[in-house]
Structure 1
Amino acid sequence: MLQEVAGIKIPDSRLAKDAADILREHGNGLLWNHSNRVFLFGAVNGKKAKQNYDLELLYVSALFHDLGLTKKYSSPDLRFEVDGANAARSFLQQYQIPDESIRLVWDAIALHTTPGIAEHKESEVALLFSGVGLDVMGDGFEQFPDDLREAIIKAFPRNNFKKEIIPAFYEGFKHKPETTFGNMKEDVIKHFRPEYKNKNFCHCILHSPWSE
């Protein structure tokens, strides 16, 4: 277990180690490396901006943020982000973590694919969002220090991440495509099933049961 990467200490409390064990058991190498990169990218961004945030809460948020894609934690009818958030909440409740801290982690995970909102929330929420955006889509790539970025990738390699993450998303929620209505993950469904049509917001308004 690495103790420090890119100047960021990897949390090593019992809670942190238990959270890591859950991801190792139910995730895979793709999610393990991605989740740790997300944590480190977010933590470095927080350090650069001199933000006050809880490193351990950010770590747990990062480790759980994609657990909703796994068979163990995937529900039949909820967004995968909510599945991961619910899993993190249940996990943290076992450690007598304050309700406010649990809410922060839940929000961070549930909102990690919601641009326009997550970045305006509390530091832990915004930093997780920034870490996800950098690792998945390259958001903020040019502003992130090259040496720190390379140190993070060396510790947690990308290993063909661009090509593998989209199928991983699809496998995580292909059984419930309707949960992608109104969010960016609908693009993943359409990537594999171009014929798929989700609900249309305007259609929902025009065909609502209201008489006028």
Structure 2
Amino acid sequence: MNAISRLPASPLANAALAAARASESVAIANHSIRSFLFAELLAEHDGTTNDSDYDRELLFAACVMHDLGTGDKARGEQRFEVEGADLAAEILSAHGAAARDVDRVWEAIAFHSSPGIAERRGLLAYLTREGIGVDFGRRADIVMTHEHAIHLAFPRLEMARSLTDAIVQHAARSPAAAPRYSVPGELLRERSAEGITRMEIASSESVWGG
């Protein structure tokens, strides 16, 4: 499997990838790309690639831009998921995406850390969350045939720590960026109290080891 050859190369896809790489660490950008590749493999496994709601370009956009809120373009005025969704929506709109598609990507990104919600918001939101989940070790058995090539092309580089660092730094910028019981709020609290978060521990213990 040539992981790089599987990436979409439309103007929108290139803009999404450029935005991630320009504003995020390499570890986080690689995580976002792997999330797409894993999401696509899950769609193939689940038999949903022929579903009328399946859109490969939108899936790429949602996965690759799902952590834009941790990058240097985010203001830290709202939780990172929402700011990332807003930034992604701006890019989609600038490339002529239909309003419905912009909304679908916005939801997929805004809800990607919300279990029980993303799964109820359609195929795009479901696959985005599940692809991200695979990169944290969930349902990893489904992608084992291809994971070596994917990780070779887009190495992990201590992803969990890098991502947690970025989320915590963003969350510390304002109370609205870290509401209590939200993912950023809890990561900030755990880092402050314990020096390490449950997300980092769980990732280190996963099949990918961090």
Task: Give the TM-score of the pair, scaled to structure 1.
Answer: 0.82
The whole-number CA distance in structure 1 between the counterparts of 2:161 and 2:152 is 19
Task: Write the distance in 1 (CA, Å) between the matches of 2:170 and 2:145.
Answer: 33
Q: Provide the residue aligned with 2:133 in structure 1.
A: 133
Secondary structure, counterpart of 1:144 in structure 2: helix
Q: Find the counterpart in structure 1 of residue 204 from structure 2.
A: none
What amino acid sits opposite 1:166 in the alignment?
A: T
Q: 1:99: which partner in 2? A: 99
Gaps of 5+ in 2: 195-210
Q: What are the within-5 Å matches in structure 2 for residues 117-132 of structure 1?
A: 117-132=117-132
Summarize the Cα distance change of 1:172–1:4 in structure 2 as closer, same or farther, 3 Å threshold. Answer: farther
3-state SS of 1:57 partner: helix
Match of 1:63 in 2: 64
> Which amino acid in structure 2 is aligned with residue 12 of structure 1?
A
Query: What are the superposed Cα offsets for residues 20-45 of structure 1, whole Å, 9 maximum, x if unpaired?
Result: 11112112201210110111111110
| 1:1-212 → structure 2 map (5 Å cutoff) | 4-5=2-3, 9-51=6-48, 52=51, 53-72=54-73, 74-136=74-136, 138-141=137-140, 143-178=141-176, 179-194=178-193
Shift of the alpha carbon at 1:77?
2.2
Q: Which has the higher contact order (CA 8 A, sep 6+)?
A: 2
Paired with 2:15 and 2:162, the residues of 1 have a C-alpha distance of: 26
- Measure how far apart 1:176 and its partner are: 2.4
Query: Is the 8 Å Cα contact of residues 66 and 81 (structure 1) preserved in structure 2?
Result: yes
Deviation at 1:177, TM superposition (A): 4.5
TM-score (norm 2): 0.82
Q: Which has the higher helix share?
A: 2
Aligned AA (2:191): F
Amino acid at match of 1:37: R
Contact in 2 for aligned 1:61/1:128 (Cα 8 Å) = yes
Query: What's the Cα RMSD here?
Result: 2.0
Alpha-carbon displacement from aligned partner over 1:121-163 (angstroms, at most 9, x marks no partner): 2111100100111213x2112x323221222111111122233
State the Cα distance separating 1:175 from its structure 2 match: 1.3
Amino acid at match of 1:145: V
Partner amino acid, structure 2, of 1:30: A
Alignment check: 8 A CA contact 2:71 2:166 kept:
no
Which has the higher mean CA deviation after the structures are superposed, 152-161 or 172-181? 172-181
2-structure distance, mates of 1:155, 1:14: 22
Once residues 184 and 82 of structure 1 are traced to their aligned partners in structure 2, the CA distance between those partners, rounded to angstroms, is 12
State the identity as a percent.
Answer: 30
